Structure 1
Amino acid sequence: MANVICLDFDDTVICNNLTRAVLEAFAAGEWREDEARYERGEISVEQFNMAAFDRIEPDVTREQLESFAATQAQPREGLLELGDWATWHGWQVAVVSNGFDVAIDPVLDGLGMTRAPRHYGRTKKTYRWRVRYLSPRGIEIQRGFKVSYAEAFRNAGDFVVYVGDGASDVPAARMARRVFARSTLLTQLESMDPAPIPFETFHDVIAVLNREAEAWLESFSSTTAGEG
């Protein structure tokens, strides 16, 4: 059992959408057709990312993608302080994202967040670029990537706080004990009980954790003890 702060990456850990920026900079224009299919509900977000990443030109190198990501990312204020808070209070920060390793790794490594577990699309180039999504059991999946990790945390008995912003976060966030949300996620979970907590910076998240986390854990412990 662990206390986990589960972070989305695009528009959450960072203030911009690096996955989209990578596609706009390096993928052939047809990726927007893949996006349109996703928006119509014809394919999952994982299938969209797989199809779109396949359209990156084969002559683009991993180094180019990583360098681009490192220079384009805009980390959200208070991110490193949240990592420090987690360390001091016995929590674990984990990043779970539908984004790509070539975009996420250089950003987190550059910030010194080398100890945070990362679960994301794993990229590889042989003759052309490919991305795969692996479940916690190592099985390749094409939908439900984030929720597979949320379910694994829950099944392990972890207390999970989810922090996110988008529609792809909704199923995973519903499995968490507490949710910090902004943008689309906040709107879609407005009827959730307990209600999602709005945030703009990670300082907002830290302030609530300082006030509420101990009580959350006490309530969780008493509930799980009663279930046992």
Structure 2
Amino acid sequence: MKQPIIFCDFDGTITETDNIISLMKKFAPSEWLEVKDQILSQDISIQEGVGRLFGLLSSNLKEDLIGFLKETVMIREGFSKFVQYTRDEEIPLYIVSGGIDFFVYPLLEGLIEREYIYCNGSNFSLETIQILWPNECDENCSNGCGCCKPSIMNKLAGPDEHIIVIGDSITDFQAAKMAHTVFARDFLIEKMDELEKPYHSFETFYDVIETLKQKKSEVDV
């Protein structure tokens, strides 16, 4: 197998739940539900949808939002061991997240260095929260991804690398199309089935480690 490189989602993948959805359920007015449905049905782009969702929240809520997630978020079982496995095997691991910097960075503190994290930004200086897009789609993508995982992968992965994508939702769909190996759960499984593209399902990162070990042993034989 070519040299592996891993691109792993954050919300609902590294964490047990989708943090944006958790924040909306707790803090947003009921209008957020319609926006969420429009994102999932692909009636609006992820970028437009996420911007509209956070536009429903007052900037004064910043500390409440961070505090709520720090108290409630659960990191998926086996993730720290998975990070150590990638280091031991010298496999590059990048976190590519449609989440927002104000909660992604604190929740990954001590696990992943910031230079390996790609996510959306935020501005709390206005009346409502403004989302910033430092990783927008390049000229090869017109999906309005917000944090464009295919564009990031094009920049970081070389032609001789075996691309591994780990994800759970619509935000991982375009990235999964480019991958050589996909680990999927939840909504991404439905999309992969629609594409009739092979994938490995997983519940914990121990599952991911075991599959990677198996693939490596098959190559080494």
What TM-score do you get using the length of structure 2 for normalisation?
Answer: 0.84
- Give 3-state SS (helix, strand or coil) of 2:17's partner: coil
Alignment equivalent of 1:163, drawn from 163, 166, 177: 166
CA contact (8 A) 1:160 1:178 kept: yes
The runs of 5 or more residues in structure 1 that have no matched partner are 219-228
* Separation in 2, partners of 1:98, 1:88: 27
- Structure 1 stretches of 4+ with a deviation exceeding 6 A read 136-139
- Give 3-state SS (helix, strand or coil) of 1:103's partner: helix
Deviation of the 1:100 alpha carbon: 1.2
CA distance 1:28–1:60, change in 2 (3 Å): same
Identity rate, percent? 23
Partner of 2:125: 126
Partner of 2:20: 19
Partner of 1:225: none
Partner of 2:208: 205
Partner of 2:97: 97
CA contact (8 A) 1:151 1:175 kept: no
CA distance 1:114–1:150, change in 2 (3 Å): closer
Deviation of the 1:142 alpha carbon: 7.6
Residue type of the partner of 1:127? L
CA contact (8 A) 1:4 1:92 kept: yes
* Separation in 1, partners of 2:73, 2:86: 23
Matches within 5 A, 1:1-228: 3-61=4-62, 63-109=63-109, 112-115=110-113, 117-128=116-127, 129-135=129-135, 143-144=144-145, 145-155=148-158, 157-190=160-193, 191-192=196-197, 195-213=198-216
- Give 3-state SS (helix, strand or coil) of 1:66's partner: helix
Deviation of the 1:164 alpha carbon: 0.9
Deviation of the 1:119 alpha carbon: 1.1
CA distance 1:39–1:78, change in 2 (3 Å): closer
* Separation in 2, partners of 1:182, 1:33: 24
Deviation of the 1:84 alpha carbon: 0.3
CA contact (8 A) 1:69 1:102 kept: no
CA contact (8 A) 1:122 1:132 kept: yes
Deviation of the 1:49 alpha carbon: 0.7
CA distance 1:189–1:37, change in 2 (3 Å): closer
Between Structure 1 and Structure 2, how many residues are aligned? 211
CA distance 1:21–1:163, change in 2 (3 Å): same
Tell me the C-alpha RMSD between the 2 structures.
2.6
CA distance 1:167–1:205, change in 2 (3 Å): same
What TM-score do you get using the length of structure 1 for normalisation?
Answer: 0.81
CA contact (8 A) 2:5 2:157 kept: no
CA distance 1:31–1:164, change in 2 (3 Å): same
* Separation in 2, partners of 1:42, 1:183: 20
The runs of 5 or more residues in structure 2 that have no matched partner are none
CA contact (8 A) 2:149 2:172 kept: yes
CA contact (8 A) 1:2 1:92 kept: no
Residue type of the partner of 2:49? F
CA distance 1:113–1:175, change in 2 (3 Å): same
Q: Which moved more, 1:118-127 or 1:83-92?
A: 118-127
